Amino acid sequence: MSSRKKVLLKVIILGDSGVGKTSLMNQYVNKKFSASYKATIGADFLTREVLVDDRQVTMQLWDTAGQERFQSLGVAFYRGADCCVLVYDVNNAKSFEALDSWRDEFLIQASPRDPPNFPFVVLGNKIDVEESKRVISNKRAMTFCQSKGDIPYFETSAKEAINIDQAFEVIARNALAQEESEEFSGDFDDPINIHIENDRDGSVIMSARIPAIAVNRVSDAAKRQLDLVAKFVEEECIPADPVVEAQTGEGDARWEGHPTIIEDLKTKARALGLWNMFLPKGHYKESPGFTNLEYGLMAEWLGRSHVASEACNCAAPDTGNMEVLAKYGNEAQKQQWLKPLMDGKIRSAFLMTEPQVASSDATNIELDIQREGNEYVLNGQKWWSSGAGDPRCSIYIVMGKTDPNNKDPYRQQSVVLVPADTPGITINRMLNVYGYDDAPHGHGHLSFKNVRVPVSNIVLGEGRGFEIIQGRLGPGRIHHAMRTIGAAERALDWMLLRVNDESKKPFGKLLREHGVILEWIAKSRIEIDAARLIVLNAAIKMDELGPKKALKEIAQAKVLVPSTALTVIDRAVQAFGGAGVSQDTPLAYMWAGIRTLRLADGPDEVHLQQMGRNENKRGPEATAVIKRQRAKTEELLKEYGVERRQPGARIQHKL
């Protein structure tokens, strides 16, 4: 594999429906031809690496829908293009005459910096037919291209692979000449193929499903990214989930390595730009530029697959730990730990919960952190240390007490960075979740005995622990909630699979034809959509006012979403019967994992207690309002000379 820097080129392929755009792409990338491609709905893309003048080039080829009714949905993909390929069918005059319109539409929507010199290439496809049946002559096509500034022209056949490589070589050269490319480092072995066909419900692209209250707050770039995330998850990650488990191994070997398919998925995700999407816009210089709302929509799709979040370097606890380092870490800490985490080279764990105290009250956290000269010495225990079992876990972010006698209980704790290989750390055991070990990630029970780290490993300063964990947990709860929405959606998909299964008919009828089943489906749809709106509302408030001003909304999402998802999953399990609690569906594992979210980051009861107290503070105000309204009612009764009527007040029984 080459270590040279590569250039990413975005090429848009336009033309009427049926001219062979999809066939051309597949012939070039996969060396395959099919006579039965479905019409593209929304957009499809393939990726291929080529060498152009000794430069490594990754060509991302976008085939957008040729049907007029889909053009308004495809234009979002035009922007950032490095070359545009116009395709027509040499046997179809209408498709040739439409080239002008396609070219003009592209220039309007893509808004290139230098429209007159933007590179176009024209392909006259399907020349494999008999010459006598041809409608558009070579001369006519050449005249058109010359009139548009000598656009390069090729006559091609996707079916017989005529002039395909030659045409795309020129396309690559012309796109490269633009020098508008985005460079990135990395080694990628194989072409990346994300095949996009009709969505299950007939939707055009995933961004078309954004709730109406949020759609105007989502940028075009984020909508494009959402579409990529959705397809990457459905086409690559979900099929890979069983492979991850199969590669994890058995016994102690489950903790000694990690599935190789994960690294392959990470390579693909990074090549597609699906990397570190979680850092919110405007808060971190390392951010890719998405808001909490925008990433929340993407996180929903990541939640449909067990491996998707890690594939995109957006997995917990690393996301929260990277936010801690990005927001509170000094430059040395960022260089040592944040950079390799953002590169996906290492993993991390956040150590807060302790077995010997009621950790739902974070002021009880008591791991001892004492300063001795230029070192901190740590003694104590931690458990539910998620990620500690992974052999790639290199850094622990540890919360403990540096000043237990401080009168302010929220100034007693500090956060310290502890390399995972520091002497004195013992992993006592890995904890199971309803029997699942979640290897190699896992949830560790660790002991610290005279563990020493430099004082430079303190984050932000002594006594700042609560400030740090509050800054960490807010966005993390939104991420968890939206991923959980995605899991609920997938559970509903599985329920639909079962209730429409023709091979399993209890009492001679499809399951959907029995009693309460359709009601389950309807309730699940309503509950998922309502829960999503709660989370998006919290994300919007975080974006506009910051996490501290959105504590109520974050808590609402934290409490509502897991319980909603568990209800939906339970219905799906019930629909499957015995299979629902077995390894034959993902439902049992989903339920076990999501059940922990009612405890993680604070149990539901703590959040409900706080929300109840805060809501109850409105009691005097609500009472005063009702009293004023009652007094006004009495005044109006007198003014209009009427009395209240009480049903039955004048009934008299006669004996």
Tens digit of each residue's pLDDT (9 = 90 or more) over 472-482: 877 888 899 99
Q: Check if the beta carbon of residue 539 is closer than 8 Å to that of residue 291.
A: yes
Specify the CATH number for the domain of residue 412.
Answer: 2.40.110.10
Backbone φ and ψ of 7, nearest 5°: -115, 135
- Reported in sequence order, the residue ranges of 512-600 that DSSP labels E, i.e. its strands, are none
Top pLDDT among 312 and 249 is at: 312
Characterize the bridge pairing of strands 83-89 and 43-52: unpaired
Q: Is residue 35 pLDDT above 80, yes or no?
A: no
Amino acid at 180: E
Range 200-216 average pLDDT = 71
Q: Check if the beta carbon of residue 497 is closer than 8 Å to that of residue 544.
A: no
Q: Which pLDDT value is given to residue 506?
A: 86
Q: Is residue 296 pLDDT above 70, yes or no?
A: yes
SS (H, E, C) 142-199: HHHHHHCCCCCEEECECCCCECHHHHHHHHHHHHHHCCCCEEECCCCCCCCEECCCCC
What are the tokens at 255? 């903790």
Range 340-355 average pLDDT = 96
50 and 165 belong to one structural domain: yes
Work out the mean pLDDT of the chain and round it to a whole number. Answer: 88
Q: Is residue 201 pLDDT above 50, yes or no?
A: no
* CB neighbours of residue 75 within 10 Å: 16
Q: Which pLDDT value is given to residue 621?
A: 97
Characterize the bridge pairing of strands 193-194 and 393-401: unpaired
Q: Is residue 490 pLDDT above 80, yes or no?
A: yes
189 and 209 belong to one structural domain: no
Amino acid at 308: A
123 and 264 belong to one structural domain: no
Range 582-600 average pLDDT = 95
Range 448-465 average pLDDT = 97
Q: Which pLDDT value is given to residue 540?
A: 96
Question: Is this prediction's pTM over 0.75?
Answer: no
Q: Is residue 112 pLDDT above 90, yes or no?
A: no
- Reported in sequence order, the residue ranges of 186-308 that DSSP labels E, i.e. its strands, are 193-194
Q: Which pLDDT value is given to residue 283?
A: 61
91 and 184 belong to one structural domain: yes
3-state secondary structure of 218: coil
Give the CA-trace dihedral at 176, 177, 180, 181, to 10 degrees: 20
**Phi and psi based region of residue 402 (left: phi greater than 0; alpha: psi -120 to 50; beta: remaining):** alpha
Per the domain annotation, does 466 fall within a domain? Answer: no
71 and 164 belong to one structural domain: yes
What's the CA gap between 588 and 649, in Å, rounded? 59
Per the domain annotation, does 112 fall within a domain? Answer: yes
CB burial string 207-237: b at 16+ within 10 A, e below: beebeeebeebbeeebbbbbbbbbbbbbebb
Residue % of the chain over a pLDDT of 90: 68
For the chain, first and last CA: distance in Å? 105
27 and 133 belong to one structural domain: yes
Enumerate the β-bridge partners of residue 551.
Answer: none
Per the domain annotation, does 130 fall within a domain? Answer: yes
What are the tokens at 482? 């939206």
216 and 88 belong to one structural domain: no
- The DSSP output letter for 12 is E
Specify the CATH number for the domain of residue 563.
Answer: 1.20.140.10
What's the CA gap between 13 and 34, in Å, rounded? 18
Q: Is residue 430 pLDDT above 80, yes or no?
A: yes
**Phi and psi based region of residue 185 (left: phi greater than 0; alpha: psi -120 to 50; beta: remaining):** beta
Q: Is residue 220 pLDDT above 90, yes or no?
A: no
492 and 418 belong to one structural domain: no
Q: Is residue 182 pLDDT above 60, yes or no?
A: no
209 and 303 belong to one structural domain: yes
Residue % of the chain over a pLDDT of 70: 90
Q: Which pLDDT value is given to residue 65?
A: 57
Range 96-121 average pLDDT = 88
Range 208-235 average pLDDT = 90
Q: Check if the beta carbon of residue 349 is closer than 8 Å to that of residue 397.
A: yes
What's the CA gap between 483 and 169, in Å, rounded? 41
- Reported in sequence order, the residue ranges of 373-488 that DSSP labels E, i.e. its strands, are 375-386, 393-401, 413-419, 425-430, 443-454
Range 20-30 average pLDDT = 91
Q: Which of 283-287, 505-509, 632-636 has the highest mean pLDDT?
A: 632-636
Range 493-518 average pLDDT = 89
3-state secondary structure of 608: helix
* CB neighbours of residue 447 within 10 Å: 15
**What pLDDT band is residue 44 in, cutting at 50, 70 and 90?**
low
What's the CA gap between 15 and 39, in Å, rounded? 12
Q: Which of 32-46, 55-69, 418-432 has the highest mean pLDDT?
A: 418-432
Per the domain annotation, does 484 fall within a domain? Answer: yes
Lowest mean pLDDT: which of 52-56, 352-356, 501-505, 558-562?
A: 52-56
**What pLDDT band is residue 195 in, cutting at 50, 70 and 90?**
very low
Q: Which pLDDT value is given to residue 76?
A: 55
Which of these, 481, 482, 570, lies nearest to 524 by C-alpha position? 570
Q: Which pLDDT value is given to residue 202?
A: 37
Specify the CATH number for the domain of residue 301.
Answer: 1.10.540.10
Q: Check if the beta carbon of residue 398 is closer than 8 Å to that of residue 474.
A: no
Per the domain annotation, does 138 fall within a domain? Answer: yes
409 and 353 belong to one structural domain: yes
Q: Which pLDDT value is given to residue 187?
A: 39
Specify the CATH number for the domain of residue 49.
Answer: 3.40.50.300
Top pLDDT among 382 and 513 is at: 382
* CB neighbours of residue 468 within 10 Å: 21
Lowest mean pLDDT: which of 55-59, 418-422, 475-479, 588-592?
A: 55-59
550 and 515 belong to one structural domain: yes
Q: Which pLDDT value is given to residue 4?
A: 44
Of 145, 168, 194, which one is at a domain's C-terminal end?
194
39 and 169 belong to one structural domain: yes
Q: Which pLDDT value is given to residue 51?
A: 86
Per the domain annotation, does 630 fall within a domain? Answer: no
Q: Check if the beta carbon of residue 88 is closer than 8 Å to that of residue 120.
A: no
Q: Which pLDDT value is given to residue 34?
A: 78
Q: Is residue 69 pLDDT above 50, yes or no?
A: no
Q: Which pLDDT value is given to residue 652?
A: 81
Top pLDDT among 298 and 188 is at: 298
Per the domain annotation, does 522 fall within a domain? Answer: yes
Lowest mean pLDDT: which of 107-121, 438-452, 517-531, 570-584?
A: 107-121
Q: Which pLDDT value is given to residue 205?
A: 60
Of 424, 459, 494, which one is at a domain's C-terminal end?
459
Residue linked to tokens 């808060």: 283
Lowest mean pLDDT: which of 211-225, 274-288, 335-349, 581-595?
A: 274-288
**What pLDDT band is residue 77 in, cutting at 50, 70 and 90?**
low
**What pLDDT band is residue 179 in, cutting at 50, 70 and 90?**
low
What's the number of domains the chain is made of? 4
DSSP notation for 607-638: HHHHHHHHHHTTHHHHHHHHHHHHHHHHHHHH
Characterize the bridge pairing of strands 6-14 and 55-64: parallel
Expressed as residue numbers, the domain containing 167 is 6-194
* CB neighbours of residue 624 within 10 Å: 10
Q: Is residue 596 pLDDT above 60, yes or no?
A: yes
What's the CA gap between 32 and 46, in Å, rounded? 13
Of 194, 224, 250, which one is at a domain's C-terminal end?
194
What's the CA gap between 280 and 286, in Å, rounded? 9
Q: Which pLDDT value is given to residue 72?
A: 44
Q: Angle 260-271/238-248 helices, nearest 10 degrees? A: 150
Q: Check if the beta carbon of residue 590 is closer than 8 Å to that of residue 571.
A: no
**What pLDDT band is residue 207 in, cutting at 50, 70 and 90?**
confident
Q: Is residue 193 pLDDT above 70, yes or no?
A: no
Q: Which pLDDT value is given to residue 105?
A: 85
What are the tokens at 98? 């439409």
SS (H, E, C) 553-578: HHHHHHHHHHHHHHHHHHHHHHHHHH
